[in-house]
Structure 1
Amino acid sequence: MQKDVEYIELLDEQGEQIKFKVITYFQIDEINGEYVVVTPAENNDSDEAFVLKVTTDEDENEMLIPIEDEKEFDLVEEAYNLVMAEQE
């Protein structure tokens, strides 16, 4: 994933495209994972954010998927907090 992307568009459950603002992108070498944190672009007042894992399908197309493993999410949350503390 390009690290300098400011906005991305994702499909919702109904197949409609929704624009998201990229808050940050980071890697966690210990678990060989890449992650992106996004928030809805249309609702700037929202505290709602989503953490998505960057992965590839069998054809090497990049995909963003939600994190379903609780231990992985905890590691990602800790890494995100460190990244945000460094940016302050």
Structure 2
Amino acid sequence: IHSWDEEGQQLIGKVVEIMPFTHGKFDTEVQQYILDTDEGRVSTVLGAATDKQIAGKVKPGTMVAIVFRGQKQLADSRSVNRFEVSTF
């Protein structure tokens, strides 16, 4: 799974597969996206909030550009990653 470390980091590729992922830190089911990129096949998890924002827009065959926009602190001392996802 692709790790998101630096704000502004991006991943561009064609979505090959979308499948459920349940091994995250929040114990909720999110989507795992498998992408074909210039560097090869990569998988990434974006989280429930981003999944809701892109639902219906991203499916296998869609070209996407994903930009990591840093982390947002939650009230309970946890944090979530923020993403910007563009389709083309």
Give me the TM-score of the superposition, normalised by structure 1: 0.30
Higher relative contact order (CA 8 A, sep 6+): 2
Give me the TM-score of the superposition, normalised by structure 2: 0.30
Q: Which has the higher strand share?
A: 2
